[in-house]
Amino acid sequence: MIRRLSLSAGSLALALLLFPFTSLTAQQQVPPAPASTAATPQAPAAPTPTVAPVFPKPDPANFTAAFPSQDVINAFLQASWGYDPNRVWQIQAILKTQVPDISKVVILIGDKSGKQKPGALQFFALADGKHIIAGDDILPFGAHPYADYRAELEQKADGPYRGAAAKDLELVEFADFECPHCKEAQANMDRLAVDFPKARIVFQNYPLARIHPAAVKAASYGVCVTKLGGSTAFFQFASSVFEGQEGLATPDGATLTLNSAVTKAGLDPAKVAACASTPEVGAEVVNSVKLAEELNVNQTPTLMVNGRQVPIGGLPYDTLKQIIEYQAKLDGISQ
């Protein structure tokens, strides 16, 4: 379930940095650029090509900023897009702005097969070398853009897990028990557990309380199931809750659904309910939500692959697997 009621320009930019090149129409919704000493180049107007795009030669006058370097930008885009062998790009401008610590970057994007119309993506790079602004989002940047998020998840992702105990390849799913897209994603999560036996697959609560009244209660029950029965019991519980998700729509239905799931996990519903009502458990759920917010996760379900954010609602499994394999390769992990 999308946390925001409308898809922001930042979310669109983030999607472009994650997914296969399918349509770049929405990328034009980025905010107006700050004034600069050179005009912003535009993607050439042309009919949909049938061959690989030929980008216009960059104008040296459009490279007025001292940072970031083209090498760093290319390394960042390779980390973001390298899993897709059909995607091609060209750095078209690195421009000074009115703000000394912010540069504007313009990228032209295309598809080797020629099936997709070329487009342009722009973002603003900060002088710290670790962040960019895309629309209303601040995103990780650099030659190794996901390293900081990976380290934070290794330290703070404390949800139940399946698979390996080691965190060499850590897949952290942020999900909401009342989110229909999270329910749909569970089949792919089960496939990942089979296809990546060396991965540690963590379930991290991210209840969207504003739109899902039962989500926090379900998350609290899940925390207590883990405390009383371990990770195996949790995933039995989670499977049952997602299967009976429609029952969460009313308060009485939520109680029946959660108690039934607890029983199927082999635990006592009364003990789990008592545990779930404690302030300590409530604090654990709040901390999990804070972790998601710190990582700029703004929709469920989202999978963090060694710190790399991959919104997985509706994402084809083959693409998801391709991204994970590529990130594992970048991180030097053998499968």
pLDDT tens digits for range 274-297: 999 999 999 999 999 999 999 999
Query: Which residue shows structure tokens 């949800």?
Result: 159
- Tell me, what amino acid is at 316? P
Reading the chain (335 residues) residue by residue, the pLDDT tens digits are: 434 323 334 444 545 565 554 433 222 223 333 333 344 555 555 555 568 888 999 999 999 999 999 999 999 999 999 999 999 999 999 999 999 999 999 999 999 887 778 899 999 999 999 999 998 889 999 999 999 999 999 999 999 999 999 999 999 999 999 999 999 999 999 999 999 999 999 999 999 999 999 999 999 999 999 999 999 999 999 999 999 999 999 999 999 999 999 999 999 999 999 999 999 999 999 999 999 999 999 999 999 999 999 999 999 999 999 999 999 999 999 86
E-assigned strands of 135-247? 137-140, 161-163, 170-175, 200-205
Residue 15 confidence (pLDDT): 53
Residue 223 confidence (pLDDT): 98
Q: Between 3.30.565.10, 3.40.30.10, 3.40.50.450, 1.10.3720.10, what CATH number should domain 148-330 receive? A: 3.40.30.10
* Intervals of CATH 3.40.30.10 along the chain: 148-330
Pairing of strands 308-311, 302-305: antiparallel
Residue 136 confidence (pLDDT): 83
Residue 5 confidence (pLDDT): 29
**Would you give the DSSP letter of residue 92?**
E
Residue 29 confidence (pLDDT): 25
State whether the Cα torsion 121-43-49-60 is positive or negative: negative
Residue 243 confidence (pLDDT): 98
Exposure string of 114-149, with b = 16+ CB inside 10 Å and e = fewer, is eebbbbbbbbbbbeeebbbbbbebebbbbbbbbeeb
Pairing of strands 170-175, 200-205: parallel
Residue 235 confidence (pLDDT): 98
